[in-house]
Amino acid sequence: MNTIISCKVAKSQSCKVFKSKVLTPCMSIVFSLFSLVSFSQVKDTTKVNQLDEVLVSAVRVTTKTPVSFSNLDKKEIKFRNLGQDIPILMNYLPSVVTTSDAGNGVGYTGIRVRGSDATRVNVTINGIPYNDSESHGTYWVNMPDFASSLESLQLQRGVGTSTNGAGAFGASLNMLTDNFAKESTGEISNSFGSFNTRKHTVKFSTGLMNDHFEIAGRLSALNSDGYVDRGASDLKSYFLQGTYVGKTTLIKALVFGGKEKTYQSWNGIDGETLIRDRTFNSAGAFTDEQGKDRFYDNETDNYQQDHAQLHWNEKIAANWSTNFALHYTKGKGFYENYKEDADFSDYGLQPVGVLTTTDLIRQKWLDNDFYGTTFSTNYKKDKLDVIFGGGWNKYEGSHFGKVIWARFASQSELGDRYYDDFATKTDGTVFAKVNYQITEKLSLFGDLQYRTVNYKANGVQANVVDDTFDFFNPKTGLTYDINANNALYFSYARANREPNRTDYEGGNVKPEKLNDFELGWRYVAEKIQFNSNVYYMAYKDQLILTGNLDDVGAPIRSNSEKSYRLGLEVDATIALTNQLIIRPNFTLSANKNTDLAVEGQSYGTTDIAYSPSIIAGNILVYTPIENLHISWLQKFVGEQYMNNIELPAAKLADYFVNDLNVAYEFKPKSIFKSIVITGLVNNFLDKKYVSNGYMWDVYPYYYPQAGINFLAGLTLKF
């Protein structure tokens, strides 16, 4: 859902990728193979690459940039893309922890990077901001099967480089949608698996017609009962893209979106229930008038989100190219709850005789619009590469609630709203990035960003919010090529970020500040790629998750005056033989609040909530014969606290899970260009583990994840 009105946001704070895995609990995936959007399908590849390069460069980095990052493209995720969400597909990237409310990676999922929750990950689609303007969250359930329309994605850890949208405090995730194809293609994909999970996808492309026009599209339907009781999802999505390619012009028009109906599974379970009944779901529980325990059958979240984008890339001179984009997003939906013994006064109703409470069914609605423009200009000549860019975006959102049924209706009328709030947010950004080759071995990176934000809202603690923030975010760094195989880099980045709606509701209105220092070493040889990075992220007034939730399930954050994250990230791709490749990675970190004080009590130096000190993974890829791929994926996440005062009951145990992915591709001589058969066994050692949770006062609640489960798919390409 596109905001914070529901409990789901509270439980979806963490969140996956690839196609294979391996080795030890202290090592994890991701290979740093950088893939720019390729236009090799057309006759003049150089010119078309130049046309699209300004869009890519505005949001992405290369090994010439002193930033820690990982790339994934469609080739790396296609064998695992069987219905699970994008965060799950990113699970094996360095410093990444993921979770799923329903326990099987379908429905509401979350991601954390370096311990920072999803509200700190700046997500863009083709350079267009995707994070919800008020909550800062990203709700992947609104875009089911979006991975099937992705050309590639890049995850920048830390502050990263300047881009549009909310400031990055843990990472930036930049997604690029499908390229155009020169030749016409078609694809039908179907997958089935545990918990009655099934995905059906149809894709097509006309290819370049008259060497200039292409139309491509996708339709998807995804259903799952979920691992937890009644954690069902009914998801549908679409993607349609038109492309024009000229000698100096590239224009793309896109419309895409999704519709979801998901039975609520964000309540979690207490420790006793975790032992007794891991799949229990309390959502919708009530006792009827005869004293019988029942579950309301429509305790669901319902949301539709539609996006429109128009991109115009132009090469205006030998060294100049530009990108201009317009975008519009429409979101509308609600979640529905059965409430037992609700107070009349909470809904603006009068008592009925001596009765002051009633059973009722309520809906909490969102109806929002997000629109704006982004732009960038790239000048590249000899030793100098400069990008000027920015954007202007506006959000308008209605929050309102309705009672659709009550056992005792009092004076209510059909269609009455028991609250009716409105919010607007205007966000303007300009930035300039420079890469300058000082000497043959030494290059300088500079990045200056100015961002202004105005947020107006009513219904926040019965007050009207009208705040304006002006942020200046400088970044700089050096890259030194020791030789053809080795390079060192160092960077400094400053970031500022405004509070979200829930912070205002909780009385936290201080913006937070971050100074991010990164020192890295990259090694590239014929059979080995190795990346290591040391980071130090020093925060002022960081809005840390307390582990507690408010009365609608949104996570409560509070300012920690001083805090830091210090860590070492290592990842590698090693070809042991022509048939065997391993891709390990691990992160060791210390994540601390300094002199933490909570409600007047001092706790000294403590661990920041939801920040494990060890995250590791590995992918082992074995190709015994051509077109047969076998991947063994492993993930280890160390223990972590669900609050900041290190309460023993708030500790989540570490876990180590293993997946197995097998795919075989046939290439028939007629009818089909390719037939791909894929199998994925998740958690094949049947580990009983918990990846996320929260605190209700001093009592822990957990989100158990599925034991051994499988998905199998068949893809026909023609």
Q: How confident is the model at residue 680 (pLDDT cuts 50, 70, 90)?
A: very high
Average pLDDT score over the chain: 89
List of E strands, 576-673 = 580-598, 601-607, 614-622, 628-637, 640-641, 651-652, 655-666
Q: What is the pLDDT of residue 505?
A: 83
Is the pLDDT confidence value at 302 over 70?
A: yes
Number of H helices, E strands in the chain: 6, 37
Which tokens in the block code for residue 695? 């605190």
Instruction: Tell me the two tokens of residue 456.
Output: 């107006």
242: enclosing H helix or E strand: strand 233-245
Q: Which two tokens stand for residue 508?
A: 């936290």
Q: What pLDDT does residue 111 have? A: 94
Confidence of residue 6 (pLDDT cuts 50, 70, 90): very low
| pLDDT greater than 60 at residue 362 | yes
Residue 35 predicted with pLDDT over 60:
no
What is the phi/psi pair of residue 197, to 5°? -85, 135
Which residue would you say has higher pLDDT here, 718 or 168?
718
Contact criterion met (CB below 8 Å) for 2 and 99: no
β-pairing, 699-704 vs 709-717, is unpaired
pLDDT of residue 53: 60
Most distant CA pair in the chain: distance in Å? 86
Give the separation between CA 405 and CA 74, rounded to whole angstroms. Answer: 47
Residue 462 binned pLDDT confidence (cut-offs 50, 70, 90): low
- pTM of the predicted model, to two decimals? 0.90
pLDDT > 80? residue 578: yes
Question: Would the pLDDT of 8 be above 60?
Answer: no
pLDDT at site 164: 80
For residues 266 and 7, the answer to whether their CB atoms sit within 8 Å is: yes
Taking residue 461's Cβ as centre, other Cβ atoms within 10 Å add up to: 10
Helix (H, G, I), strand (E, B) or coil at 527: coil
Task: Tell me which DSSP letter residue 250 carries.
Answer: E
Of all residues in the chain, what percent are helix, strand and coil, respectively (each to 5)? 10, 60, 35
User: Which of the residue ranges 57-71, 230-244, 584-598 would you say has the lowest mean pLDDT?
Assistant: 57-71
pLDDT in the model for residue 19: 32
pLDDT, mean of residues 113-126: 92
- Tell me if 595 sits within 8 A of 602, measured CB to CB: yes
pLDDT > 70: what percent of the chain? 91
pLDDT tens column, 379-414: 999 999 999 999 999 999 999 999 999 999 999 998
Residues 391, 449: Cα–Cα separation, whole Å: 11
The top-scoring range by mean pLDDT among 312-316, 504-508, 587-591 is: 587-591
Burial of 288 per CB tally in 10 Å (0-12, 13-18, 19+): exposed
Strand 699-704's sheet: what is its strand order?
Answer: 269-270, 699-704, 690-696
pLDDT at site 203: 97
**Residue 1 banded pLDDT, cuts 50, 70, 90:** very low
**The pLDDT of residue 3 is above 60:** no
In angstroms and rounded to an integer, the radius of gyration of the C-alpha atoms of the chain is 25
296 confidence band (pLDDT: 50, 70, 90)? very high
Q: Where are the domains of the chain?
A: 7-717
d(CA 460, CA 407): 29
Asked if pLDDT for residue 285 goes beyond 50, the answer is: yes
Three-state SS sequence of 385-416: EEEEEEEEEEEEEEEEEEEEEECCCCCCCCCC
Banded pLDDT at 461 (limits 50, 70, 90): low
Average pLDDT over residues 639-660: 96
| Cβ contact 616:587 at 8 Å | yes
Cα–Cα distance for residue pair 104/473, rounded to 1 Å: 39
Contacts of 93 (CB under 8 A, 6+ apart): 16, 17, 18, 28, 29, 30, 70, 72, 155, 585, 617
Segment 582-604 mean pLDDT: 93
Mean pLDDT of 297-313: 96
CATH architecture of 7-717: Beta Barrel (2.40)
55 pLDDT tier (thresholds 50, 70, 90): low
pLDDT digits (tens, 9 = 90+) for 85-107: 999 999 999 999 999 999 999 99
